Amino acid sequence: MKQSPDIEVRDLWFSFNGNPVLEGVNLEIYPGDFMAIIGPNGGGKTTLLKLMIGLLKPDRGSVRLLGHPPREVAQRIGYVPQELGPDKGFPISVFDVVLMGRLKGGGGRWRFSKADQTLAREALERIDMWAYRNVRIGELSGGQRQRVFVARALVAEPELLLLDEPMASVDQKGQTDFYALLKDLNETVTIVLVSHDPMVLSSHIKSVACVSKQVYFHNAPEITQEMIKMAYHCPVELISHGPLPHRVLPDHPGEEDD
């Protein structure tokens, strides 16, 4: 029996201030996938992610998560947006940041239960950050902060984890460690990760969607030449070496040296 997709996008169109951003997008992401969304700045990657989780509404077309409209299953989705978290100088501990993931929304005052605190501890232990629980979030490295923000998403016990540019402030070693963490999480959680730069993609990726108004999906852990030309409008050669690919830009036909 064929599995139902965790994420199903059908004939999706979206524009902003009359300018088309996404056109006729069709995409299916199945349980256990670890998909990277790549493409140039302004190509629609973050917009597509926000449409997937219901933060934006399409002009036409549909999105279903776990068989339902996104807002109906919001509590089953973990989301790590760009530049998440308090100001670096704000005096909040790692543990308190993760506990915030247990907030359910709505008004009134909140008090965290022992069960909430247990889940926060388990999430931090899962990402090897329990020893930093009392450290202020602003004192961590970029890679460590990203781990904490993932833990914040994990305390909601999600079935899907969506991350928008999680490597933006992480050095190369941190990227390698962070991908190792995501690989472990992918054993139980379907993951979608946005990146504008294919250089930061890892061998742990299972599939790739290239976004530049339209979406080109490749059900394999590799980036095809066709996808790169479509998205970046110039010839690019990718050479796999170690945990991260390297990018080489060959000479463009007809160009002369400066």
Q: How far apart are CA 199 and CA 177, in angstroms?
A: 16
Give the tens place of pLDDT for each residue, 26-76: 999 999 999 999 888 888 999 999 999 999 999 999 999 999 999 999 889
Domains of the chain: 7-248 (3.40.50.300)
| Buried residues in 37-46 as b, exposed as e (16+ CB within 10 A) | bbbeeebbbb
Phi-psi bin for 150: left (phi > 0), alpha (psi -120 to 50), beta? alpha
Specify the pLDDT at position 32.
Answer: 94
Q: What are phi and psi of 26, to 5 degrees?
A: -130, 130
CA pair distance 173, 132, nearest whole angstrom: 19
* Residue 99: per-residue pLDDT: 93
CA dihedral 20, 82, 71, 27 (to 10 degrees): 50
C-beta separation of 47 from 56 below 8 A: yes
The tally of CA atoms less than 13 A away on the side-chain side of residue 251 is 6
Beta carbons within 8 Å of 254's beta carbon, 6+ residues apart = none
pLDDT at residue 248 greater than cutoff 90: no
In three-state secondary structure terms, 101 is: helix
Distance (Å, whole) CA 16 – CA 47: 10
Q: Is 160 helix (H, G, I), strand (E, B) or coil?
A: strand
From the CB of residue 82, how many other CB atoms can be counted at a distance below 10 Å?
Answer: 13
Instruction: Give the C-alpha separation, 231 to 229, whole Å.
Output: 6
Residue 119 has pLDDT above 70, yes or no: yes
Name the phi and psi angles at 9, rounded to 5: -115, 125
- pLDDT of residue 239 exceeding 50, the answer is no
The pLDDT tens digits for 62-72 are 999 999 999 99
